Amino acid sequence: MTFGWTTQAQRRQYRAMAVSTFLMAMIAPLSPADANAVSAVEMGDREITIRFDDVVEKASSFVLAGPDRIAIDVTGAEPGAPVSPIGVIRSVRQGRPDANTARIVFDLAEPAVISGGQFAADGRSLTLSVDPAADDDFSAAAKAARKLYLPPIA
């Protein structure tokens, strides 16, 4: 028994819409708004704390000269909102060196280096120790292009 509530053409349209909606959901399963972003950057005289929306995988830091700056690469994060600088930090920029990494760059008012860092127990924040450095020490660190790798949460 056929009731004929919809015509054959209408049923085909609904089927096409359902298939295209399914395909779009498969192509874009994660929008940038759903990704783990840098939620805050808090700066003190000798400490920087970077907070995230969720647990991050790992981080590393390195210094660059001309102009002097410290870069932090955080794997498994997205760049976040703008940050107001304080202390030895002249300005802060955030970007993406690759699809899975957020880079936070601290432009320095005077030479400084990251002497250590530690993730919080929950893996949702990273605290870095910032120490002033002599010009020679900063230049040597920049030339060596050493990265300080901060291990993931165990």
Instruction: Please check the confidence at residue 150 and state whether its pLDDT lies above 80.
Output: no
Split at pLDDT 50, 70, 90, the class of 138 is: confident
SS3 of residue 132 by DSSP:
strand
Q: Which of 76, 74, 86, 68 is nearest to 35 (CA)?
A: 76
Residue 49: per-residue pLDDT: 92
Residue 50: per-residue pLDDT: 92
The dotted CATH code for 32-150 is: 2.60.40.3500
User: pTM score > 0.95 for this model?
Assistant: no
Residue type, 12: R
Instruction: Please check the confidence at residue 64 and state whether its pLDDT lies above 60.
Output: yes
Residue 20 vs residues 6, 23, 24, 32, 85: alpha-carbon distances, Å: 20, 5, 6, 21, 46
- How many whole angstroms separate alpha carbon 82 and alpha carbon 40? 9
Count Cβ atoms below 10 Å from residue 104 Cβ, excluding itself: 24
By CB atoms closer than 10 A (0-12, 13-18, 19+), residue 117 is: buried
Q: Which of 41, 113, 110, 103 is nearest to 70 (CA)?
A: 113
Predicted confidence (pLDDT) per residue in 79-134, tens digit: 988 888 888 889 999 999 998 899 999 999 998 888 888 889 888 999 998 888 88
pLDDT, average across residues 15-21: 59
pLDDT, average across residues 28-33: 42
Per the CB < 8 A criterion, the answer to whether 46 and 129 are in contact is yes
Predicted confidence (pLDDT) per residue in 34-57, tens digit: 458 888 898 888 899 999 999 887
Instruction: Please check the confidence at residue 27 and state whether its pLDDT lies above 80.
Output: no
